[in-house]
């Protein structure tokens, strides 16, 4: 992984003196971070690389992101928001279903989004890449996974699944959705000859088998 790269005093002074002529530097830096991560891999992206790709001075990004961790946190937050929107849409579409079916809908949305947005997923899934100590990212994460856990717990309360400990059911359900996405992102499905769409279908089959195994 590249180290955090901070501007020299001269770079910082030059950036402050010039300002930035583009409209939304912060947003563009996030965009370029994603592009470079797709080309090189997340671990090989530095703040200086992002500045060069965006066509600004090496010190310009540091006005918005004091460290590489802060830059990747912004990427993670954007990814979390996109994932949350997908989970909410899945929950709304399954609103008239029972909690176990609602959990299924959200779990499918979760791993499908992860499979199709690997850089976002890698960014917010790795505690080695971003800092979850800040409230913004932590709250986004809790909301994203909390809704799935709530549906699984509701299924237990209604007797839709076998007797057990609610928190363990919630963790198992979350782990399955996370694991399916992670297997694809880490290249394990590729070794089985499964492309993106096939991985989603296989993920649904695995999820259905899990739900069947815990259902009453």
> What is the reported pLDDT for 158?
96
Q: How high is the pLDDT of residue 10? A: 42
SS3 161: strand
- What is the per-residue pLDDT for 87? 95
Give residue-wise pLDDT tens across range 142-158.
Answer: 887 899 999 999 999 99
Residue 3 lies in a domain: no
Please give the tally of structural domains in the chain. 2
Predicted confidence band of residue 1 (pLDDT cuts 50, 70, 90): low
174 shares a domain with 118: yes
- For 10, 115, 121, 168, 203, the CA distances from 179, given in Å and listed in that order, are 46, 11, 12, 16, 10
- pTM equals 0.84
Whether residues 114 and 173 share a domain: the answer is: yes
Do 85 and 61 belong to one domain? no
Residues 6+ apart with CB under 8 A from 209: none
Q: Which tokens in the block code for residue 112?
A: 């499908």
């Amino acid at each position: 992984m590249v180290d955090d790269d901070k501007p020299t005093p001269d770079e910082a002074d030059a950036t402050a003196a010039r300002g930035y002529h583009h409209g939304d530097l912060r947003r563009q830096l996030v965009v370029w971070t994603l592009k470079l991560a797709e080309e090189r891999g997340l671990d090989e992206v530095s703040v200086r690389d992002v500045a060069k790709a965006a066509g600004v001075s090496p010190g310009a990004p540091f006005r918005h992101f004091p460290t590489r961790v802060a830059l990747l946190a912004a990427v993670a937050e954007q990814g979390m928001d996109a994932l949350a929107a997908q989970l909410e849409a899945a929950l709304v579409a399954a609103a008239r279903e029972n909690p176990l079916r609602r959990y299924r809908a959200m779990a499918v949305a979760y791993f499908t989004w992860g499979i199709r947005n690997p850089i976002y997923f890698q960014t917010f899934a790795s505690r080695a890449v971003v800092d979850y100590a800040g409230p913004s990212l932590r709250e986004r994460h809790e909301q994203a996974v909390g809704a799935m856990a709530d549906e699984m717990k509701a299924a237990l309360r209604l007797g839709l699944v076998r007797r057990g400990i609610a928190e363990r059911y919630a963790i198992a359900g979350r782990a399955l959705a996370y694991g399916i996405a992670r297997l694809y992102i880490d290249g394990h499905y590729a070794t089985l000859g499964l492309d993106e769409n096939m991985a989603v279908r296989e993920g649904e089959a695995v999820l259905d088998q899990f739900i069947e195994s815990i259902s009453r």
